[in-house]
Amino acid sequence: MTQMPLAKALNESLRKALENDPKVVIMGEDVGRLGGVFRITDGLHKDFGEDRVIDTPLAESGIVGTAIGLALRGYRPVVEIQFDGFVFPAYDQIVTQLAKMHARSLGKVKLPVVVRIPYGGGIGAVEHHSESPEALFAHVAGLKIVSPSNANDAYWMLQQAIECDDPVIVFEPKRRYWDKGEVDVSAVPGDLHKAVVAKPGTDLTLAAYGPMVKVCLEAAAAAANEGRSLEVLDLRSMSPIDFDTIQASAERTGRLVVVHEAPVFYGAGAEIAARITERSFYHLEAPVLRVGGFHAPYPPARLEEEYLPGLDRVLDAVDRALAF
């Protein structure tokens, strides 16, 4: 076990992938000599050369389009979108080409492309740097969507995404980049899309992914001081979603609150709430509740703490669910 920040775990994961497979290439804005704005690719250009760690122009559509062409020629490109809000020029390439090629070719063509996207708020950034657009991509068939919440998952999930023959978008919670955690580099990783119980409990289930898992663990600790036992699920994957694990937990505790940083309106929590209500209606003691961002543009940095779901909003939902 080695302790490292989540950002360093991603860096080590990319290094391992480059070492293991000569067909792995990294592409993106400033990923080479600079090592990325968050230093996720730091040192890789020096150690593996400019043919495998490639600085690109500021052209997200071109970056993803080039990655698709490389994948067609047998490479495994790992694309970095510098910030979440910069992905939209590449949206057409991702949803009409990358996501569709396997079905369009009746399964004959595989596109093992990974798109890394630092996402979410909490870093005091300017406009277009704090978005949570995961639901826009999870809605598209043909894409796999994952988000690690801790350093160990970051290390293993990124490698698993690179090894996958399908396109995978890895949403990296940028405000957790500097959170340290234990990484077991010799472990056998589990299912990339399997949810895990981050903390067991009996009274209510909190289900979250990415940056909100830490908030939910803090909420569970605060609730324990009041004699409440909250279970915390780390969903890890947004497409596919591990509904079986969520269902088992919700039926065990009788209550479910889904938490994500993205807006509640049409967010991933809506699909989870609907599906668990259909599956577990007679096991639930309260309606499935959702906690998330507001249906409004992401605010200036000085107001983002009011926008982001925090401990108080999660605990308020817990109180409402337990009041039934």
Please give the positions annotated as active site. 129
CB atoms within 10 A of CB 216: 29
Place of tokens 């000569």: 22
DSSP 8-class letter at 189: -
Sign of CA dihedral 176, 181, 184, 190: negative
Q: Which whole-number Å values give the CA distances from 264 to 175, 230, 270, 321, in the listed order?
A: 20, 21, 7, 17
Q: Where are the alpha helices (DSSP H) in the chain?
A: 6-20, 44-48, 60-72, 91-92, 101-104, 134-138, 151-163, 212-224, 243-253, 268-280, 304-307, 311-322
For residue 222, count other CB atoms closer than 10 A to its CB. 16
Residue with tokens 């895990």: 196
Q: Is 58 exposed, middle or buried (0-12, 13-18, 19+ CB in 10 A)?
A: exposed
Distance, in Å, from the CA atom of 211 to the CA atom of 46, rounded to the nearest integer, reads 31
Write the burial class of residue 27 (CB in 10 Å: 0-12 exposed, 13-18 middle, 19+ buried).
Answer: buried
Type and span of the H or E element at 145: strand 144-146
Query: ω into residue 240 within 30 of 0, thus cis?
Result: yes
